[in-house]
Amino acid sequence: MNNDFASPVAADCPSMHLVLINPYPESARGINEGTIEPPLGLTYLAAAARDRGYLVDLIDANALKIGTIPLTDHIISVNPTLLGISTNVVTHAAGRDLIAALRAAGFPGRVILGGPLPSALPEYCLNATEADAVAVGEGEQTLTEVLENIAGESEEPFQGVAGCVWRKRDGEIVHEPPRPLIENLDSLPLPAWDLLPPFAYYKSRARRRPIGAIICSRGCPYQCTYCNKSVFGSRYRRYSIGRAIREVGLLVEKFGIRQLDILDDNLTLDLEWAKEFFRGLARFGLAVNLQNGIRADLCDEELASLMKSAGVFKISIGVESGCPETQLRIKKNLALDRVLQTTRWAQERGIVVYGNFILGLPDDSAESMRQTIDFAIRMDPDAATFNFLVPLPGSEVWVEIEKLGEFHFQLDDPAASGFYGSGIRFQLPGMDAKEVARFYHRAYRRFYLRPRKIWSLFVRALRPGEFLWLLQTVWGVLGLPIPPGPRFLYPARRRIGLKSGPRVC
């Protein structure tokens, strides 16, 4: 396999040390504690740097629940040359606090931010933190160029690196040209799964354990107004079938996974590719969870059968609104009759279906929200989630609120709520927040307080091993202080060093 990242230019720089961090948002609320997926983006960055010969550590503080103090102590003790932190709207405050603690403790190394929030608002993230730079968009090539510059003792290692937004010593912020998207995803090195904590620390709706995760494609051509595409962009790119199946095979052979969570945003955009992928997946005998779901209009009956043969036990369908006019307004443009058909195809084959809905979309009215609830009942997925709209930086909705409305939360608030937090996050002209809240509670009552639904939820949609997942999910969504589950065997400082296993070559 051709690998554009495999040039070992750092062989003469063994002292170059990169540490990558996925922060733990210990004060956040409204987070699904029952589902913690591995930070695959960081595993790609780690692999790209390691294949160049650099020493790399990856600390998933979120999975290991490692707070700012022990993490700061560890980073100070190892003193990496470059520290990379990936953040989003929920973990931003945790990342900010970590950088502040490091600087207060005298950490001299350079810090670069990446991920959805820094890619969408690079200047904001630089001004809100003491980071040196932001990597905007896909970071593999950006990161390795920065490391090369540091190894070459460049005084300004971010200067001239496409995709970087960085701060000069005098405080001036410099925007380098955008980084072109990676065209050939097969050129990416295999993710550094071995640098993650043991897979047992990750949680999702599990039929079998341990659980591994992959992503086979990047980019989304759809224009949904509530989405942030600042990392992977709008152009769809995917692995070859051979590359995708090879990753699954390695997860099975080297790490012993028995369930596969697929995290693609658009797994079935290329329908024929998806069919071939599920044909190849069937031989592994895995339980398969399409965690991020599929578009209902990118499925046919043959694909539903192939998914079942490959071990798929759950899919999600992002419906958002049951009102055709709202579908057009948010540019989702999803034909609702296709939602009904795909739901039936899946359920007839014993696949559990989740329907995801959003209330409080721009221009949502009492009538459009009523239509959404009515449609959810008509669709009758095995389970449904109704969420208040979370405006994401980089989305069209975010820009609309900035111009016409006001936000009801602050990005720098350490208790910033996740997707499952209660309450309205913004106000737009003509929006009745109290009415949206009433429909939110009405939606759950009408959908779940039906005897047939309660019975089917426990008989058809859940297996005995999934009850703990359901309990942890509900616990986190309700914002209760201590999620149930096993206690960690080691203190935080020892958990930092837990890794999945030997390097996968």
Secondary structure (DSSP) of 399-455? HHHHHHSEESS-TT-TT-B-TT--S--EE-TT--HHHHHHHHHHHHHHHH-SHHHHH
Burial class (CB in 10 A: 0-12, 13-18, 19+), 255: middle
**158-162 contact pairs (CB < 8 A, 24+):** 158/112, 158/132, 158/133
Number of domains in the chain: 2
Based on the fold, state whether residues 138 and 238 are members of the same structural domain: no
- Alpha-carbon distance of 111 to 101, in angstroms, equals 13
With CA atoms as reference, report the closest residue to 125 among 95, 156, 161. Answer: 95
Query: Residues 3-28: pLDDT tens digits?
Result: 555 544 444 455 789 999 999 998 87
pLDDT above 70 coverage of the chain, percent: 88
- pLDDT at site 475: 57
In a domain, 323, yes or no: yes
The Cα-based distances of 335 to 192, 352, 443 in angstroms read: 39, 21, 21
The pLDDT, as a whole number, for residue 11 is 43
On whether both 90 and 138 belong to a single domain, the answer is yes
What pLDDT shows up at residue 489?
66
How far apart CA 295 and CA 338 sit, in angstroms, is 9
Residues 251 and 131 in one domain: no
In the prediction, which pLDDT does 350 show? 95
- Whether residue 310 sits in one domain with residue 454: yes
Enter the pTM of the model.
0.92
- Asked if residue 501 has pLDDT above 80, the reply is no
The string of pLDDT tens digits covering residues 301-310 is 999 999 999 9
Of residues 3 and 505, more confidently modeled:
3
Of 29-33, 110-114, 130-134, 453-457, the one with minimum mean pLDDT is 29-33
pLDDT band at 415 (very low <50, low <70, confident <90, very high): low
**Mean pLDDT, residues 28-32 taken together:** 71
The CATH number of the domain holding residue 246 is 3.80.30.20
Residue 485 pLDDT exceeds 60: no
Mean pLDDT, residues 408-419 taken together: 72
Query: How far is the C-alpha of 191 from the C-alpha of 422, rounded, in Å?
Result: 35
Longest Cα separation, the chain: 68
| CA–CA gap between residue 31 and residue 210 (Å, rounded) | 22
Position 137 in a domain: yes
Q: How far apart are CA 171 and CA 164, in angstroms?
A: 15
Cα separation, 170 vs 308, in Å, equals 59
Domain for residue 405, yes or no?
no
Question: Are residues 122 and 90 part of one domain?
Answer: yes
Chain Cα centroid distance, residue 268? 18
Higher pLDDT, 180 or 504: 180
| Domain at 57, CATH number | 3.40.50.2300
Phi, psi of 21 (to 5 degrees): -125, 135
pLDDT in tens, 350-383: 999 999 999 999 999 999 999 999 999 999 999 8
Predicted confidence band of residue 458 (pLDDT cuts 50, 70, 90): confident
What is the span of the domain harbouring residue 169? 17-182+490-495
Q: Do 27 and 160 reside in the same domain of the chain?
A: yes
For residue 159, being part of any structural domain is answered with yes
Is 145 found in the same domain as 266? no
DSSP 8-state secondary structure symbol assigned to residue 497:
T
